[in-house]
Amino acid sequence: MKYSALQIQEHITRGSQLLSLSTNSNHEFAAPEVVELRNIIELHEYQYYVLNHPLISDTEYDQLFALLKSIEAKQPTWVTPNSPTQRVGSSLNKSFNTVQHLVPMLSLENCFSSNDLIEWEKKAKNIVDAGEVQYCIEPKFDGASISLIYENDLLVRATTRGDGVEGEDITNNIKQIRSIPLSAPFSQYGIQQIEIRGEVVMPFKAFRAYNEKLAAQGLAPLANPRNAASGSLRMKDPNEVAKRNLDAFLYHVSYYNLLPGISQASWQLANDEAHTNGKPILTTHSDSLQFLWNIGFKTPNEIKVLVYGIAEVYAQTIAFAEKRDDFPYEIDGLVIKVNDFALQDQLGMTTHHPRWATAFKFKARQATTKLRAVEYQVGRTGAVTPVAKLDPVQVGGVTVSSISIHNEEYIKEKDLQIGDTVLIERAGDVIPQIVRSVIEARDGQEQPIIFTRNCPECESELFKEDGEAVWRCINIECKAQVVEKIIHFVSKDAMDIKSLGEANVRRFYEMGLLQDIPGIYRLNFDQIGQIEGFGQKSKDNLAAAIAASKQQPLHRLIYGLGIRFVGETTAKVLANEVQHLLEYQHKTIESLQLLDDVGHKVAASIFHFFSNEQNIAMLQQLESLGLQLVNTKKNTLETGGLQGQTFLFTGTLNKLKRSEAEAMAEKEGGKILGSVSSKLNYLVVGDDAGSKLEKAKKINTIKIINEDEFLALLAAN
């Protein structure tokens, strides 16, 4: 354990004290206090990222971090290379330099059965007759391997494996992984330079979140966390890497050298006696894991198992395979290592792999099967998703017979054809994916997949926006979408017809009582009265709620139409712009783009909605049924004194959190923009403002103010 209970307690108390000092504007922080603050933040990062056991709330952590940042901004000479603030905001990677590894990064031999393990041990014993051997067993992490070099206690370089001899320098990106210490007290143990190997993984939770984000952008998801991890490490922008929530396990000390003047013998002795209570630090592999763990590294120390003899190793492979799904990240097997370093040295290595270690691979979560057909499904927004129909196959414990193949581009990218043999993978409980088609298995009978251009439900022509991968059915009456659309139309933020909830919409639709949005206003209440459980009172409530909704303001109706990319704010902008909703029939994409916060993508979507005859007919029906298509009153976005003013915040604010400041501006009727443009009225500048400030200086209509001026502005309104 890196920190004692007493240290933890002291750090927590001191953290609160420093935070309360920061609210006293007379207090000037001194250099030793900043050192303390840094140590406190490091403790909390260690608790959160290495031990998964946070001791304070995220907000308190954010406050400590913001305090450190603001002090460092005022006193740049106090910034140290291992300050927690130095992880974030690293500059872009222009390219990744190739560097040679201090020691080649070898691969491992694979074993798949108890026989393989027996053979492996036999081979080793032919080289060294060692009697019963102690083995250290640990998970084989399925990610991207890395090498870290620490010199004089600082992380100086991190590299990918590359070809094993040379890798790429990814130091900036590795610093975004918070479980990797930027510094560690190696010099206390006489070590001047050390190379540590490990694996970067993307935990399942982060992987799912990442794939959901890709899907929301209409992009195809990644097949497995391993690809996601290695892809993330090679991203140009370290800030993007930070968002991927990667983690890392360090599992091997490949090289170290001692501080000048220390001999190997005196070093070992000193460490044995002075630092580790008589426990050697680097004479066995398990000791090295313990040592690294003690000084703050995330190692498999707590998961490893020490056993004697290969029979026990095999028993452990069975035990671990059963627990495989309990790990929050993917493990694809175990690594079995001869524990004693002296014995490892005697066994040595080939040019390909060490003889003192082997990988035991678990059953693959991959399988091959035939892609027989493609069917199409229509979702709520009209997105048409192709689904591959497969010969049923077992993967990772479940039978898979159909799998989403996302969109047309994905099909092209993966070169999928009907009749192909496809390799599929299911990592953990993640949705199965096609990894690739096995081109080598083609026999010439395969047929290309011709992506449909018509809705599988209503046959209307599909539409695809520029730069998007997804084809959509934009016919608002399309049956497959209609139920979901009605549910959205009556929802709280749209027309807010409470008594007509999701369950009733589905029920009425199934009974043929409700076919489309205008149908809400034509419901036959006599028929509804016949439905079991629908008494007079609920019938009356429903009728009243539907009638009342006719008076809802235009922006709610627009939002309720579910036009893609048109959220509540844009709906208000659209409602304010016209006297009558049908005026949008005559607007061009260019003119729509002139509206606040309406970019090309949104404008194109609005344009296509109002170009569709069925949509226009539906709006006409709604009007004749008594709904408001006329803009009766200006729908103010908010009602405060900053009405119509736009704001953008940049840099670190000292008194307010960014989110608080934004909420305060919005409360007064102000609007927050996402970027600097001529639409911006106020840029509020905190510490460390960067490119936004530079850009704003070039547009002279933008008022550049500081935090105090912003607060004064709020007070004055």
Q: Rule CB under 6 A: which residues touch ligand IVH?
A: 106-108, 138, 140-141, 145, 197, 199, 251-252, 300, 335, 354, 357, 359
Shortest distance, position 227 Cβ to ligand IVH, whole Å: 14
DSSP state of 432: P
> What 8-state DSSP symbol labels residue 284?
B
> How many alpha carbons lie under 13 Å from residue 62 in its C-beta half-sphere?
10
CA-only gyration radius of the chain, Å = 31
Cα–Cα distance between 282 and 272 in angstroms, integer? Answer: 10
* Residue 717: CB minimum distance to ligand IVH, A: 59
Minimum Å gap between C-beta 368 and ligand IVH is 22
Smallest gap from Cβ 700 to ligand IVH, in A, equals 55
Using the minimum distance from each CB to ligand IVH, give the nearer residue, 195 or 199: 199
Helix runs in 330-443, H state only: 341-347, 408-413
Using the CB atoms, write b or e for 532-558: b if 16+ within 10 Å. eebeeeebeebeebbeebeebebbbbb
Residue type at 223 in one-letter notation: A
Q: Tokens for 683?
A: 């840029």
Give 136 or 449: the residue with its C-beta nearer to ligand IVH. Answer: 136
**201 vs 573 by CB, closer to ligand IVH:** 201
DSSP 610: H
Q: Which of 122, 123, 125, 140 is catalytic?
A: 140
Compare residues 198 and 432 and give the one whose CB is closer to ligand IVH: 198
Give the shortest CB-101-to-ligand IVH separation in angstroms: 11
Q: Which residues of 417-440 are buried (b: 16+ CB within 10 A; e: fewer)?
A: bbbbbbbbbbbbebebbbbbbeee
Residue position matching structure tokens 């004479």: 283
**Helices 310-323 and 114-127 sit at what angle, rounded to 10 degrees?**
140
Minimum separation from the CB atom of position 701 to ligand IVH (A): 55
CB of 284 to ligand IVH, least distance (A): 15
Q: Which residue, chain included where needed, has tokens 């990442």? A: 210
> Measured at CB, which residue is nearest to ligand IVH?
145
Q: Minimum CB separation from ligand IVH for residue 117, in Å?
A: 16
Residue among 43 and 148 whose Cβ is closer to ligand IVH: 148
Least CB distance from residue 711 to ligand IVH, whole Å? Answer: 53
d(CA 15, CA 9): 10
Kindly tell me which of 349 and 387 has the beta carbon lying closer to ligand IVH: 349
Spatial CA neighbour of 138 closest among 7, 295, 323: 323
C-beta closer to ligand IVH: residue 177 or 520: 177
Cβ atoms of 672 and 638 closer than 8 Å: no
* Short-list 150, 158, 146, CA closest to 191: 150
Residue listed under structure tokens 């497959």: 480
- Least CB distance from residue 428 to ligand IVH, whole Å? 16
Catalytic: 140? yes
Instruction: Give the shortest CB-260-to-ligand IVH separation in angstroms.
Output: 28
- How many residues can be counted in the chain? 717
Phi/psi of residue 445, nearest 5 degrees: -85, -5
Measure the CA angle with vertex 257, ends 292 and 142; round to 5°: 40
The span from the CA of 260 to the CA of 151, in Å, is 13
Q: In what order do the strands lie in the sheet with 247-258?
A: 154-160, 144-151, 191-201, 247-258
Closest residue by Cα to residue 176 from 92, 86, 99: 86
Q: Which of 181, 228, 220, 180 is nearest to 204 (CA)?
A: 228
Contact 647, 682 (CB under 8 A): yes
The pair phi, psi for residue 700, each rounded to 5°, is: -80, -5
Print the SS3 string covering 500-563.
CCHHHHHHHHHCCCCCCCHHHHHCCHHHHHHCCCCCHHHHHHHHHHHHHHCCCCHHHHHHHCCC
In the complex with ligand IVH, which residue's Cβ is closer, 118 or 303? 303
Point out the residues that are catalytic. 140
